[in-house]
A and B are shown apart, each in its own frame.
Chain A
Amino acid sequence: MMDNKISIEAAGKTFGDGVSNIVALQDVSLTIAGNEFVTFVGASGCGKSTLLRCIGGLETLSSGDIKVDGRSVNGPGVDRAMVFQHYSLYPWLTVMDNIKFSRLLQINREDITSADVEAASGRADALLDLMGLTHVSDAYPNQLSGGMQQRVAIARALLPRPQILLMDEPFGALDAQTREVMHDLILHVSKLEKTTIVFVTHDVEEAIYLGQRVVVMAPRPGRVDSIYPVKLPAQRDQDMKLAPEFMQQKREILARIRETAGMRTDRDLLERMTRQAETEQQNDMQ
């Protein structure tokens, strides 16, 4: 039952009006198990965010299918929570009210008993505590740092106990130190809440540190290029980033991304420019 929480079957997505089209996803097939932590990396334009948004139901596929628990995704649903890079919090609500936002919605108000309400209150407090936000529960989002704001966004997403957490470069705007703290926090959440996490990033180190598998996507058209099972113990700690296996895998994945993007390495570019300068010099002398 734990297997195939999410199955992506020959998913395709084309943006455009028929005249000028962009193939954002082409024939993407992949399965993600329950409570798995899968990270997606790739050069810009590889469709990793589009794929995430299709799983979340914010975009519809042009072809193929995405199934969650065997049912086709048809729009957003409370089983799939999403955390965005930024600007998703409600600045007019306090931290606590942001976290409890989903409780205002009709979908969570039907047939509920006072015991449910109490349980939900307890959950909000527990999440506040888990995210280290208790002391700012009455503050407004714009009074918080970027890292704290993302903690609120994660707590808000977790409140209704989603089975899947979709994260779209959630730490992309944070500084390196804050990001490391958030990494350990989200790993802790994954273990504690047994949530399946699909995590999109442009940071390969982050992808390896967090993921059980790293999916490399390639651009034009957006597709899955390769999948790297991460060779680290289940219990991660920051020192592992210095281990030779970690560095080796990071080098491998970075090289693969560069290849898929058809990018020249800095050395290629330097050589080419040097050659060009030399020919120009010779021409001048003649």
Chain B
Amino acid sequence: MSSKQQPNLPLHRQILAGWRSIWVVRGHLSRRAYLLFALAGMLLPLAAWWWLSGSGLMDKVFMPGPMDVLSRVYTWFKSDNLLHDMWISTYRVVAGFALSAVLAIPLGLMIGSYRPVQALLEPLTDFIRYMPAVAFIPLVMLWVGIDESSKIAIIFIGTFFQMVLMVAEDVRRVPITQIEAAQTMGATRSEIVSLVIVPSAKPALLDTLRITMGWAWTYLVVAELVAANSGLGYSILKAQRFMQTDKIFAGIILIGLIGLTIDQLFRWLHRKSFPWLYKK
């Protein structure tokens, strides 16, 4: 602002004023500046990594360089069936996540809408969600076996209980006046749920799904501890045994990239599904 009012300021003063203006609490940042900062946030760690691995300060075994990792990704792709690992891991995560969503959304809707259901299920869910998913591995192997369903089950256990509570919270955040307005227009209970609560909570629900999808990915390595012989998580675990740090790096970064892609897909879906949120 101040730089606009005084266009005759010397250049260094203008830059200083611009620098100050972006540090206002909850201030405004232009799209270009935003991209610049985002790029810096991604590239600076990369540069630091590059420098550190090339400096000779650290052993290659502990800190492989970006080029080592890249070439490892290439050989993995060429001779070690990288695409299959990526596919099977994505499948496990998405299947566990989808199963959890299919159950958590209606259940959370019930908990958030009806007090008796809340009293019945919320304390129980709170109790279970503190249990470590890893600890369930022996039980899952006993109950579900050691095939694909066991990996999906672990991801489900890690995601479901958190998701139920978050869905219930999204539902409770629907403004009471929206509900009361429908009541005074003669809406029945089921109409209030289907015509008011669900559409009103939808954007928040999609955000909840996006966030819990991230959590589902963090359970991948745990899930692939269970008698797996493929997958990104499994490959990371196997690479550990052979001290292939470059492959560990590659696996972790690939998981991050897939996660980032899915996250962006969710954001895109959000913009497409709820145009009314983005119109001003």
Which A residues are CB-close (under 8 A) to B199? 90, 92
Name the interface residues of A100-146: CB closer than 8 Å to any CB of B: 101-102, 104-108, 140, 142-143
User: Within B246-280, which residues are at the interface with A (CB < 8 Å)?
Assistant: 274, 276-277, 279-280
Cβ of A240 to closest chain B Cβ, rounded Å: 32
Residues of B within 8 A of A78 (CB): 185-186
**Interface: B191 (CB within 8 A):** yes
Return A78 CB to nearest CB of chain B, in Å. Answer: 4
Contact of A143 among B181, B184, B279 (CB under 8 A): B279
Which A residues are in CB contact (< 8 Å) with B116? none
Evaluate contact between A160 and B185: CB separation under 8 angstroms: yes
Main secondary structure of the interface of B (DSSP, over half): helix
**Contacting residues, chain A, for B134 (C-beta < 8 A):** none
B184 nearest CB neighbor, chain A only: A82
Asked if residues B186 and A82 are in contact (CB atoms below 8 Å), the reply is no
Chain B interface category by residue count? 20 to 34
B34-69 to A contact mask, C-beta < 8 Å, 1/0: 000000000000000000000000000000000000
Residue A88 is within 8 A (CB to CB) of chain B in the complex:
yes
B22 at interface (Cβ–Cβ under 8 A)?
no
Does B175 make an interface contact (CB < 8 A)? yes
B105 CB, nearest partner CB in chain A, Å: 18
- Contact across chains for B280 and A82 when beta carbons are under 8 A apart: no
Contacts of A105 in B (CB 8 A): 182, 185-188, 191, 195
| A153 cross-chain contacts in B, Cβ below 8 A | 181
B239 within 8 A of A: no
B177 at the interface (CB under 8 A from A): yes
Q: Does B181 contact A88, Cβ atoms closer than 8 Å?
A: yes
B175 CB contact (under 8 Å) in A82, A87, A102: A87
- Judged by a CB distance under 8 angstroms, whether B244 is at the interface is no
Chain A 178-203 per-residue mask, 1 if CB under 8 angstroms from chain B, else 0: 00000000000000000000000000
> How many chain A residues touch the partner (CB < 8 A)?
32
Does residue B129 face the partner (Cβ distance < 8 Å to A)?
no
How far is B187's CA from A105's CA once the two chains are assembled, in angstroms? 6
Nearest to A101 among chain B residues (CB) is B185
Residue contact B178 to A87, C-beta cutoff 8 Å: yes
Asked if residues A142 and B279 are in contact (CB atoms below 8 Å), the reply is: yes
User: Do B202 and A84 touch (CB < 8 A)?
Assistant: no
Asked if A84 contacts B200 (CB within 8 A), the reply is no
Q: Does residue A229 face the partner (Cβ distance < 8 Å to B)?
A: no
Assuming the contacts A77-B186, A101-B185, A105-B185, asked whether A88 and B180 have C-beta atoms less than 8 A apart, the reply is yes
Contacts of B280 in A (CB 8 A): 142-143
Distance in angstroms from A108 CB to nearest chain B CB is 7
Known: A90-B199, A102-B186, A143-B279. A82 touches B191 (CB 8 A): no
Q: Is B240 an interface residue (CB 8 A)?
A: no
A156 CA to B183 CA in the complex, in Å? 13
Q: Does B121 contact A (CB under 8 A)?
A: no
Determine whether the beta carbon of A102 is less than 8 Å from that of B200: no
Give, as a whole number of angstroms, the nearest-CB distance from B196 to chain A.
7
Tell me if A221 counts as interface (CB < 8 A to partner B): no
- A262 adjacent to chain B (CB < 8 Å): no
Distance from A68 Cβ to chain B, minimum over Cβ atoms (Å): 13
CA distance A77 to B199 in the complex (A): 23
Distance in Å: Cβ of A86 to nearest Cβ of chain B: 7
Q: How far is the CA of A9 from the CA of B274 in the complex (A)?
A: 47
A92 touches B276 (CB 8 A): yes
How many Å from the CB of A72 to the closest CB on chain B?
17
Chain B residues near A64: list those with CB within 8 A.
none
Please, which residue of chain A has its CB at the minimum distance from the CB of B203? A92
CA distance A107 to B191 in the complex (A): 10
**Chain B: minimal CB distance from A279 (Å):** 44
Docked Cα-Cα span, A77 to B183, in Å, equals 8
**Do A81 and B184 touch (CB < 8 A)?**
yes
Taking the nearest CB of chain A, how far is it from the CB of B260, in angstroms? Answer: 28
| Interface residues in A42-60 (C-beta closer than 8 Å to B) | 56-58
Instruction: Pick from B181, B184, B186, B279 the residue with the most CB of A within 10 Å.
Output: B184
Q: Does A80 contact B (CB under 8 A)?
A: yes
B186 is contacted by which of A76, A91, A92, A143 (Cβ under 8 Å)? A76
| Cβ contacts under 8 Å, A140 to chain B | 276, 279
Q: Which residues of B contact A76 (CB under 8 A)?
A: 183-184, 186
The answer to whether B180 and A90 touch across the interface, beta carbons within 8 angstroms, is no
Q: Is B180 a contact partner of A84 (Cβ separation < 8 A)?
A: yes
Best-surrounded residue of A76, A86, A156, A157 (most CB of chain B within 10 A): A76
User: Which residues in B have their C-beta under 8 angstroms from that of A106?
Assistant: 188, 191
Which residues 238-279 of A have a CB within 8 angstroms of B? Answer: none
Q: What residues of chain A have their CB less than 8 Å away from a CB belonging to chain B?
A: 56-58, 76-78, 80-82, 84, 86-92, 101-102, 104-108, 140, 142-143, 153, 156-157, 160, 166
Please name 23 pairs of A and B residues whose Cβ atoms are closer than 8 Å in the assembled complex, sorted by A: A57-B184, A58-B180, A76-B184, A78-B185, A78-B186, A82-B181, A84-B177, A88-B177, A88-B178, A88-B180, A90-B200, A91-B276, A92-B199, A101-B195, A105-B185, A105-B186, A105-B191, A107-B188, A142-B277, A142-B279, A142-B280, A156-B181, A157-B184
- In the A-B complex, the 7 residue pairs with the smallest Cβ-Cβ separation, listed nearest first, are A140-B276, A82-B184, A107-B186, A88-B177, A88-B181, A102-B185, A78-B186
